[in-house]
Amino acid sequence: MLHIFDTLRDVSTASIVFRLVLSWILGAMIGLERSYKNRPAGLRTHVLVALAATLASITGHYLYLGMKVTSDLTRIGAQVIAGMGFIGAGTIIKTKQNTIKGLTTAAGLWATGVVGLAIGSGFYEGGIIAAALILFIETGFSGLAARITVAPEISVRIVYEDKAVFDNLIRMTKDLDVTIVNLQITHLPDNKCAAILRLRGNSIINNEEFLDLFRDVDGILSAEYMDTKRG
């Protein structure tokens, strides 16, 4: 522990002001990065989350030390952590391309709330270090994440005659090291069935030869891509 913070660990007017201002600064630093990237939750949201979490933590200490209320000091903090989950969930959206956006912002909001709790409890070192790491993750890791190769996904519509044909199709995907992410089956007239498969695998699934392998299976009447943008 840093001794320069020792006089500010007790609940006093000076320490309360210091904790609120420090959480405001740390929340603003994280929020500015999110605002710069035009994310749903930006500067004001992160500052409010940090301040509220800090005040909640201070209140718990004040009730216990100042008002002599015999209660669990961690109870208020636990409720704040749970509440951050509901706020963060509002930043998560699912696009038309079935991709999820806002997870990093939601996690950042939750982490900012925990930073606020740390500052409010007088654990300044932990809060400052955590805020610095959060900023490093949100700024430095974005370029690294962009370089990570993601397995391509596509949707394929298969029309086939009976269940035995579909079983052969499943075995073929396993042999090709292709994973079925999602599956929808619709019954058609004349005892036919249509299956829409969301597949994840290597680059082979983006090639027309991949569909030709399906079409060569006895009982498969047609096979076509459903995605307008493949991979």
Residue in 97, 106, 115, 84 with CA at minimum distance from that of residue 39: 106
Residue in 166, 162, 165 with CA at minimum distance from that of residue 191: 162
Q: Which domains does the chain have, with CATH numbers?
A: 3-147 (no CATH), 153-225 (3.30.70.260)
Backbone angles phi, psi at 219, to 5 degrees: 100, -15
- The tens digit of pLDDT for each residue in 185-223 reads 888 888 888 888 888 876 667 777 778 888 888 888 888
Alpha-carbon gap, residue 107 to 204, rounded angstroms: 34
Structure tokens at 203: 């680059």
pLDDT of residue 199: 85
pLDDT of residue 73: 66
Residue in 12, 22, 4, 3 with CA at minimum distance from that of residue 116: 22
For tokens 């499943």, name the residue.
170
pLDDT of residue 45: 86
Backbone angles phi, psi at 159, to 5 degrees: -110, 125
140: CB partners within 8 A, 6+ apart: none
pLDDT of residue 228: 43
pTM summary value:
0.61
Alpha carbon distance, N-terminus to C-terminus of the chain: 51
- Which residue positions in the chain have pLDDT lower than 50? 228-231
Q: Using alpha carbons only, how large is the chain's radius of gyration in Å?
A: 27
Backbone angles phi, psi at 36, to 5 degrees: -60, -35
pLDDT of residue 24: 93
| For helices 43-65 and 13-36, angle between their N-to-C axes, nearest 10 degrees | 160
pLDDT of residue 231: 40
